[in-house]
């Protein structure tokens, strides 16, 4: 498999790198960022946290704004951040920010014209980890996390693949996309109008029916403008109560939907994942 190094920067004695490669699952070139902690330079295979970003983001937002590298270096944890969708000439798009390029929602689209490229679920779950584990000094110990649309992706992917992930976490996730405008718009476009097919991509639905548990942590800002209409954390909490899911949830007064919120609590999330990756 051929990958092209786009950039490299030293950070906290480790290396922040960006790569481009052709991805078969999405049928186009994709870009991802990876932080390799200093332990990875000494021949040690390190565990990996996969980070999924939100609407309009790329692979760069989290790596540049979260301040996660310092903690990852201390914990000996790699971080991989893929782009949020396929991109490029010939890739279907929409004029709005919440559909198309930058808004892949981490599902496998089965509706035209999206089904030609928008297989982000397969890319995140299978193709990208296979590439990372074959090209870099990392182990097969994986955790998954994300923000907003990426929080939706992290929780649903984690619950659909409990054998692949040691833990999962989310900041401000779209918790019940079947009932919110963002989710309804994207699912109708990518998956069609049969709402029964949407349930496998709704964190609240999956958590309510869960029989296998992946340790989960969710943080939400109480001053988030999207809290009631789009994110609906109460649906996730109700679902966890039904199934007895081990969900650690915190609501933080004054915090909004931004990376100011994420950077304030990212250390707690990385330590949460390190406990399970090393446990």
Catalytic residues: 148, 224, 257
Beta strands 216-221 and 138-147 are unpaired
| Residues paired with residue 7 on neighbouring β-strands, in sequence order | 18
Determine how β-strand 14-23 pairs with β-strand 28-36.
antiparallel
Largest CA distance in the chain: 51
In whole angstroms, give the CA distance from residue 112 to residue 117.
Answer: 10
Long-range (24+ apart) CB contacts under 8 A made by 24-29 are 24/127, 25/119, 25/122, 25/123, 25/126, 25/127, 26/86, 26/117, 26/118, 26/119, 26/120, 26/122, 26/123, 27/86, 27/116, 27/117, 28/86, 28/87, 28/88, 28/90, 28/91, 28/117, 29/87, 29/88
H runs (alpha helix) in the chain: 60-65, 69-75, 120-122, 128-135, 149-160, 181-191, 203-209, 233-243, 259-277
Closest C-alpha to 121, from 150, 147, 78: 150
């Amino acid at each position: 498999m051929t990958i092209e190094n786009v950039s490299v920067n030293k950070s906290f004695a480790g290396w922040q790198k960006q790569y481009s490669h052709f991805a078969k699952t999405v049928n186009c070139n994709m870009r991802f960022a990876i932080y390799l902690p200093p332990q990875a330079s000494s021949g040690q295979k390190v565990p990996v946290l996969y980070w999924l970003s939100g609407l309009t983001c790329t692979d760069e937002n989290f790596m540049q704004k979260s301040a996660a590298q310092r903690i990852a270096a201390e914990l000996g944890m790699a971080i991989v951040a893929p782009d949020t969708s396929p991109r490029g000439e010939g890739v279907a798009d929409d004029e709005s920010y919440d559909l198309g390029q930058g808004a892949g929602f981490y599902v496998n689209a089965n509706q035209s014209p999206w089904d030609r490229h928008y297989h982000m679920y397969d890319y995140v779950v299978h193709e990208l980890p296979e590439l990372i584990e074959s090209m870099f000094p990392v182990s097969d110990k994986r955790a998954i996390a994300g923000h907003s649309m990426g929080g939706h992706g992290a929780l649903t992917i984690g619950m659909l693949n409990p054998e692949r992930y040691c833990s999962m976490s989310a900041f401000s996730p779209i918790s019940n996309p079947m009932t919110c405008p963002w989710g309804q718009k994207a699912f109708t476009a990518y998956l069609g109008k049969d709402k029964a097919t949407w349930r496998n991509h709704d964190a609240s639905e999956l958590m309510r029916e869960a029989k296998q548990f992946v340790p989960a942590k969710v943080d939400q800002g109480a001053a988030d403008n999207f809290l009631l209409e789009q994110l609906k954390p109460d649906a996730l909490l109700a679902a966890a109560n039904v199934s007895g899911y081990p969900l650690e949830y915190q609501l933080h007064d004054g915090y909004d939907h931004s990376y100011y919120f994420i950077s304030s609590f990212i250390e707690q999330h990385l330590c949460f994942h390190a406990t399970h990756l090393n446990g």
